[in-house]
Amino acid sequence: RFCQAGMLYRPTREKDVEVLKDYAYKMLKSTGHEEISLSSLSSSDYSHLRELVTFLIDEFKSQGINISLPSLRIDAFSLDVMGQVQDIRKSSLTFAPEAGSQRMRNVINKGLTVEDIIGGAGQAFDGGWNKVKLYFMLGLPTETEEDMRAIPELADQIARRYYEIPKDQRNGKCQITTSTSFFIPKPFTPFQWARMYTNEEYISRAAIVKHAFNEQLNRKSLKYHWHDAEVTVLEGVFARGDRKTSEVIKEAYRLGCLYDSWSDQFDNEKWMQAFENTGIDIAFYNLRERSLDEVFPWDFIDIGVTKEFLKQEWNHAMNAEVTPNCRMKCSGCGVAKWKGGVCIESKN
């Protein structure tokens, strides 16, 4: 529900595995590159992943071609292939539970349970890994302090799973690195109506999480980082901005803002000055929950998914109700009109 790509790129559809194999041959031959990287938003959902990865390893590994994998859902197969292509001692595995509590994961419709996470991490630890990276968002709609505290608790549970391995069979201490970013609502998603928070409110949320990390049993094995809140506020304005916000960008540039995504170049004071000079109010864009009948600047673009469906999903989110994925049941999002992909696959 938070993910724009998950709405924009509907319906799910797959590329023929023979086409991908052919691309790999042709690209290596015509470019001279020495690495093949599989990149997609959710590679584990590709039904021919096993065949494709096995093919790439068999065909190219012996020629010194490096195979690089995206973060896969952790299961026996993924660990096996990752073990074949990475140095386990050096590499870390990445999980993106996105939210710490099950209630919050239901709100965002992320179908991942604590058993999935601990089970996956456990398999990885048993296979020799001892480093795990975890990604979460703070400031999601309906978030409570309990949801925030669930993040360090989950990290600690993962560390506990590691220390269940008998000491003589462990690969030293484990290292669980948790990063949080602040949630930014995006157009064309069920969360496009959501409110955001002020810089200070974000910092205090991160402080709650930081504090709760210090209370955990395995705190020495846990590290916590959070994403900058000042940049989040700016991203929030421009993510759902209208034509007026272009004036702020022009004014910020005039004041000397350039290369802002390099943190050493980013100057928040200048940006705040630009808002003041142009009379654009950050609160109007970030701090109010939009009403369901508000007309948005992007409403004239038809992405296929209907606004009615997004509203319905927003209401489900408010009640922490999960919507099944398209392979289990069609929820009538609107893109079936294109008669492709998962919409026309037979469903039982």
| Residue ranges binding ligand SF4 (CB under 6 A) | 10-11, 326, 330-333, 335-336, 342-343
Least gap, CB of 339 to ligand SF4 (angstroms): 10
Shorter beta-carbon distance to ligand SF4: residue 255 or 342: 342
Smallest gap, in angstroms, from Cβ of residue 34 to ligand SF4?
38
CA dihedral for 200, 202, 204, 206, sign (positive or negative): negative
Sign of the alpha-carbon torsion through 10, 11, 14, 20: negative
- Smallest distance, ligand SF4 to C-beta of residue 121, A: 30
Contacts of 206 (CB under 8 A, 6+ apart): 138, 180, 226, 229
Number of alpha carbons in the 13 Å side-chain half-sphere of residue 119: 9
C-beta of 65 vs 330, nearer to ligand SF4: 330
Q: Is the dihedral of CA 323, 326, 331, 333 positive or negative?
A: positive
CB closer to ligand SF4, 134 vs 343:
343
| Cα–Cα distance list, 83 to 47, 93, 244, 304, 318 (Å) | 20, 11, 51, 40, 41
Closest approach of ligand SF4 to the CB of residue 153, in Å: 33
> Which CB, 291 or 346, lies closer to ligand SF4?
346
Q: Which is nearer to ligand SF4, 117 or 326 (CB)?
A: 326
Q: Which helix (H) or strand (E) holds 146?
A: helix 145-163
> What does the alpha-carbon distance between residue 327 and residue 341 come to, in Å, rounded to a whole number?
10
Least distance from ligand SF4 to the Cβ atom of residue 232, Å: 30
Q: How far is the CB of 345 from ligand SF4 (least distance, A)?
A: 8
CB of 344 to ligand SF4, least distance (A): 8
Please state, in angstroms and rounded to a whole number, the distance separating the CA atoms of residues 137 and 119: 22
Cβ neighbours of residue 51 under 8 Å, at least 6 residues apart? 17
- Specify the residue, 248 or 305, whose C-beta has the smaller distance to ligand SF4: 305
Q: Select 254 or 347, whichever has its Cβ closest to ligand SF4.
A: 347
Which runs of E-coded beta strand occur in 82-190? 93-98, 131-138, 175-182
Least Å distance between CB 341 and ligand SF4? 7
Is residue 70 within 8 A of residue 100, CB to CB? The reply is no
Report the nearest approach of ligand SF4 to the CB of residue 329 (Å). 8
94 vs 331 by CB, closer to ligand SF4: 331
**226 vs 309, beta carbon nearer ligand SF4:** 309
Q: For residue 110, what are the contacts with CB-CB under 8 A and spacing of at least 6?
A: 97, 98, 99
Evaluate whether 131 touches 347 at the Cβ level (below 8 Å).
no
Q: Yes or no: say if 63 and 77 are a contact pair by the CB < 8 Å rule.
A: no
